[in-house]
């Protein structure tokens, strides 16, 4: 996670507050602590959970769905399938997480006494239909579940049984597509129903309605959408899927997703949908929010910046840190830190990253310009370091006993872009991204992805520099962002360390 420099930390907040592929944020408060969960799609473990004391600095404390029994993602789960849009709430001394697995299990409910885990086994909700489920409790203890559409049903959260029939409660703004991401909040005299609409692309926005009862009827805000950047040249786009939370001083704030396009037309975003923070003001009983600023004044309460995250992971622990994610599952026979002390061992299942069953361990790219390096020992196997968007869009630098190659997969095309003899033994593989800073051509891509090797003295040899637009959502489609990490494509490949660091966007690649 990015930590602002010292002067900025004293005067301003930099958005996004959780950079990289962290979409569909849902937030809750428990005493002086804040917790936030995001969608995870086809990756395992699922639903990253973050903690904050100030709404600005967030630390990942775990993943809610970190056991195979909690998260079933069959081999046929497509990219951008899997886990959609969690809602995280604190009620009656417990944490509640409701989410949709669109790849088979439907809507599921989990509970925990500690949001860092462990979380319960899933409680199926077979009679809750639709995606993006929300939970809210009224004064008499009735739990209301509202889903995209926007429909609502009473729910017994102890058994998963619905109480009565579901019914539509609001269809959003006439003519606006995809009313989704409902969140119901009781604030003052009203129940406020917050939704996203307009689609999760450039037309995305946030609208709100209010009623005296959690069941409505709901009156739409005359200023809807209360937040959108559609039709603007704002550097943050696709703003939507918001949730509300009260700050330590009683003020109100919104967490939401947005993207940061780079390059020419139409603008390409490569990091996925990220989590942003915006202040909320109230006018005539309505929550209003203006544009989402890249930088905004710091809130009027103490900030609690965490220690800077380590650049390097030496794989010395018995388990991987929570930011590491894999494709659909992570069987110990294919991924372990226990086989060779201080090394991550990957055993291939699938001949390349084109295969949905590929063995891959990565972390989200969180900065437009960054560098990732890994010390790889292929032994008699084959594997390397990759930048992945999905099975049909990825770049990788791969080492085998006799050769180092750069592969590029873009849609139906797969090619070896460059190769050189392998040095023998472990080799440092490197990927570096450099964001476009000055657009001189409307067709100019968002960044350049450099792939190469380092020698024993740290001298970098670039084997290929590829246009980053082909690893963007605007090209590939879907809902995810880039993930950078290690993979095995044949045999057993071991990795001694992995490091990742943000680069100054004003600095050209080395």
Amino acid 397: pLDDT: 98
Q: How confident is the model at residue 214 (pLDDT cuts 50, 70, 90)?
A: very high
Distance CA 489, CA 497 (A): 19
pLDDT at 8 over 70: no
pLDDT in tens, 462-491: 999 999 999 999 999 999 999 999 999 999
- Active-site residue, selected from the candidate residues 66, 180, 447, 467: 180
Amino acid 505: pLDDT: 57
Query: In terms of domains, do 49 and 80 share one?
Result: yes
Query: In terms of domains, do 460 and 356 share one?
Result: yes
Query: In terms of domains, do 388 and 273 share one?
Result: no
Amino acid 10: pLDDT: 52
Query: In terms of domains, do 227 and 374 share one?
Result: no
Is residue 349 a part of any domain in this protein?
yes
**Of 265, 297, 329, which residue constitutes the final position of a domain?**
297
DSSP string, 210-250: EESSTT---EEPTT--SEE-TTS--SSEEEEEEEEEE-TTS
Residue closest to 475 by CA, chosen among 418, 417, 413: 413
Query: In terms of domains, do 218 and 271 share one?
Result: yes
More confident residue, 506 or 258: 258
Sheet of 59-65: strand order equals 26-30, 33-37, 46-52, 59-65
pLDDT at 2 over 60: no
- If DSSP codes are grouped into helix, strand and coil, which group holds residue 15? coil
Cβ atoms < 10 Å from Cβ of 176: 18
pLDDT in tens, 88-125: 999 999 999 999 999 989 999 999 999 999 999 999 99
Report, as an integer, the average pLDDT of 262-281: 97
Q: Is 139 among the catalytic positions?
A: no
- If DSSP codes are grouped into helix, strand and coil, which group holds residue 288? strand
**Of 263, 297, 331, which residue constitutes the final position of a domain?**
297
Query: In terms of domains, do 348 and 490 share one?
Result: yes
pLDDT at 252 over 80: yes
Query: In terms of domains, do 187 and 63 share one?
Result: yes
Query: In terms of domains, do 12 and 154 share one?
Result: yes
Amino acid 11: pLDDT: 64
Query: In terms of domains, do 143 and 196 share one?
Result: yes
Contacts of 6 (CB under 8 A, 6+ apart): none
Domain count, the chain: 2
Residue closest to 104 by CA, chosen among 81, 79, 138: 81
By residue range, what is the domain housing residue 477? Answer: 312-502
Amino acid 290: pLDDT: 85
Is residue 411 a part of any domain in this protein?
yes
Report, as an integer, the average pLDDT of 152-169: 96
Is residue 66 a part of any domain in this protein?
yes
**Of 271, 297, 323, which residue constitutes the final position of a domain?**
297
Amino acid 309: pLDDT: 85
Sheet of 134-137: strand order equals 134-137, 143-147, 151-156, 161-168
Query: In terms of domains, do 334 and 447 share one?
Result: yes
In percent, the amount of the chain with pLDDT more than 90 equals 92
pLDDT in tens, 359-402: 999 999 999 999 999 999 999 999 999 999 999 999 999 999 99
- Active-site residue, selected from the candidate residues 24, 243, 377, 398: 24
In percent, the amount of the chain with pLDDT more than 70 equals 97
Report, as an integer, the average pLDDT of 296-315: 92
Query: In terms of domains, do 210 and 330 share one?
Result: no
**CATH no. for residue 443?**
2.60.120.200
Query: In terms of domains, do 77 and 154 share one?
Result: yes
pLDDT at 509 over 90: no
pLDDT in tens, 408-417: 999 999 999 9
Report, as an integer, the average pLDDT of 211-232: 97
**CATH no. for residue 30?**
2.115.10.20
Q: Is 189 among the catalytic positions?
A: no
Average pLDDT, the chain: 95
Is residue 142 a part of any domain in this protein?
yes
pTM: 0.96
Report, as an integer, the average pLDDT of 321-335: 97
Is residue 139 a part of any domain in this protein?
yes
Residue with tokens 């995209």: 148
Is residue 1 a part of any domain in this protein?
no
Is residue 510 a part of any domain in this protein?
no
pLDDT at 508 over 70: no
Distance CA 340, CA 137 (A): 50
Is residue 507 a part of any domain in this protein?
no
């Amino acid at each position: 996670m990015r930590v602002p420099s010292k002067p900025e930390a004293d005067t301003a907040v930099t958005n996004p507050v959780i950079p990289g592929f962290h979409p569909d944020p849902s937030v809750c408060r428990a005493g002086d602590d804040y917790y936030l969960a995001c969608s995870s799609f086809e990756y395992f473990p699922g639903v990253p959970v973050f903690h904050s004391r100030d709404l600005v600095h967030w630390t990942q404390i775990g993943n809610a769905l970190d056991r195979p029994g909690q998260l079933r993602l069959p081999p046929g789960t497509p990219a951008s399938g899997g886990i959609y849009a969690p809602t995280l709430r604190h009620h009656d001394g417990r944490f509640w997480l409701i989410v949709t697995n669109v790849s088979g299990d439907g809507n599921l409910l989990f509970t925990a006494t500690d949001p860092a885990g462990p979380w319960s086994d899933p409680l199926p909700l077979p009679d809750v239909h639709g995606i993006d489920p929300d939970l809210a409790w009224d004064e008499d203890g009735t739990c209301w579940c509202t889903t995209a559409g926007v429909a609502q049903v009473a729910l017994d959260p102890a058994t998963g049984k619905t109480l009565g029939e579901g019914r539509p409660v609001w269809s959003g703004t006439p003519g606006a597509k995809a009313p989704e991401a409902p969140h119901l909040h009781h604030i003052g005299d009203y129940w406020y129903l917050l939704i996203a609409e307009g689609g999760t692309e450039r037309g995305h926005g946030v609208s709100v309605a209010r009623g005296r009862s959690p069941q409505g009827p709901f009156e739409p805000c005359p200023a809807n959408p209360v937040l959108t950047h559609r039709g603007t040249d704002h550097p943050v786009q696709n703003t939507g899927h918001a949730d509300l939370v009260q700050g330590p001083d009683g003020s109100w704030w919104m967490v939401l997703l947005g993207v940061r396009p780079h390059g020419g037309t139409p603008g390409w975003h490569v990091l996925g949908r990220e989590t942003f923070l915006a202040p909320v003001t109230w006018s005539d009983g309505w929550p209003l929010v203006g544009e989402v600023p890249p930088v905004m004044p710091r809130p009027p309460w103490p900030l609690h910046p965490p220690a800077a995250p380590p650049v390097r992971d030496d794989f010395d622990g018995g388990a991987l840190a929570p930011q590491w994610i894999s494709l659909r599952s992570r069987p110990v026979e294919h991924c372990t830190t226990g086989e060779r002390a201080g090394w991550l061992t990957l055993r291939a299942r699938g001949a390349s990253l084109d295969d949905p069953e590929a063995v891959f361990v990565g972390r989200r790219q969180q900065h437009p310009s960054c560098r990732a390096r890994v010390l790889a020992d292929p032994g008699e196997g084959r594997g390397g370091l990759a930048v992945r968007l999905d099975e049909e869009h990825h770049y990788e630098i791969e080492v085998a006993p006799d050769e180092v190659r750069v592969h590029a997969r873009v849609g139906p095309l797969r090619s070896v872009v460059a190769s050189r003899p392998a040095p023998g033994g472990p080799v440092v593989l490197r990927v570096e991204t450099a964001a476009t800073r000055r657009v001189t051509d409307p067709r100019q891509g968002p960044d350049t992805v450099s792939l190469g090797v380092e020698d024993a003295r740290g001298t970098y040899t670039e084997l290929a520099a590829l246009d980053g637009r082909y690893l963007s959502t605007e090209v590939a489609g879907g809902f995810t962002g880039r993930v950078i990490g290690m993979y095995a494509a044949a045999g057993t490949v071991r990795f001694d360390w992995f490091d990742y660091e943000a680069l100054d966007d004003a600095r050209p690649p080395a």
